[in-house]
Structure 1
């Protein structure tokens, strides 16, 4: 195991426990068990040669698509949101758990893109990857999980740019995506108005508070409800202070999803702005080591390390800017920190593949010496 990566992963797990103790202590036992499963996933993935993931990239992608289609048919979603299907629900005796396929699709897409571009090169007609990215993001958007779908597109764009896909192809991809979005966004947003409510709530909080006075009463009420969560998170962050209030302190206000989407605010309140800085440092370690693994590897493995690093740290960045109300609410979790079985396990697997790639690149021996 790579010492730097395991140190960062343990730090993140420690902050995760702090966030649960401070925000939802009744979930601690279940959360510790989920963390154990995530670390078991890390160990299992670390033992698999990273080339095995590349060899089986197509089958993994097909499996990912099948699960995304199946969840639209037999999946379940939040009880307060109609027509939302995001996860499979399972029960084994008294144990009940859920699996969210979109979380694992992030890893699968990284593996698929690494496999494709290592075989075809970056200046190859890339209609295949474009269709693959579009299918995955489209199926996730239909659930609907627009935040995860957008993150998948951003992750793919990050990989394509960094590995050197020519700009003429990137521009063509951007125009195609824009055309598709323009043709469907009206129907999609009308069906799921809570998405536009989140955007309008962000506009009220950051651009023009007087908008509420100009809207119809029903619309204004929906926006006030949408503002509640990011507004409470911002209040908690401001009240944290440099040193925080400790894990036993009660939050100054109610904060929905404090164990998941908004756990960064809870950790900051408990550990202070200094604690939040240490959490950012842990993700900085992941980014620095992941990029080092990518630069020391070649071909598909370099792209694999690059993509997984982008997944872990890019999603963390998105979660944090959402918590700070810099961008609209997306529902994106904090990797290896937020509660939730699928998200934690996917992050654990990503760490495990990075461990295996570091071993393949000979970095473990270098650290040991």
Structure 2
């Protein structure tokens, strides 16, 4: 049996950054991945000459210069700027909520008019918001809540907004400018040709075991490495000894259309409760360095939220008080595993943006290996 310096469980961004640092320091790595490909949820598949984001839209954005320089050392990024729109029964609104949204909703034209309108509509919420509905209304008023937040959120989380904690949308972008750029971050873009370019660089030089379940033969795999980096579900690692953490999952359906431009934008949020999916993604618009008219067909993915069950892919941790208490128990167990380094979205039970996953992995890798030369 070959012995490795590191057995890395999971072929996503956290495992990839750890592998990159390990290889830079002359370490040998075995990657164990349940899926048939590397890349985790940033994996792209070429369909009709279009890099399709197989597990939902991924737009890279960060204000961290170190993270931005790192990913740009792996791939060239385009100038894509995320400007999604919301579709409510055929009424189209700009996101994030800004003066374009307010003007369409109420016919106002100045920031002062918009503020007055929102102030009128949030007067019913007194004191500290106790749930997501109250938080949303206090931020943007009842009209925007009813048309653009309520249905989408209840589909996403599978429960009423009154039953969801307020913190879920505390960072909801609200702007009194005519700016449709969704993110406030300094840097933004998508790797030209898709994220697989980055994945290949991160795992270069590693041995791979794809379509392999680490937990099905944990003792054997542990014996193959001096150290284990585990990026899977932390509750599954400990055989759900305290119970299962809750997640939301997603299902994706693709359609190929014989048109060069189906919806005019990469991402449309469908906010009406009666529409079963939350988003449609037209992937060719991510490739803004290639005119969409150059490719005669287009690929559109519909995104359906689902309740998670064991065996499904967990996408969003349900970070309410009950689940956080449960996670803390598993976290304490993890600290006792001297040979194992836990990290990433599932092992830390945290909804990470891509840049935050990379930053976390870089920090832990530099603690493990020192800074790369």
Q: What's the TM-score, normalizing by structure 2?
A: 0.27
Structure with the higher strand share, 1 or 2:
2
Structure with the higher helix share, 1 or 2:
1
Larger-Rg structure? 2
Q: Which has the higher contact order (CA 8 A, sep 6+)?
A: 1
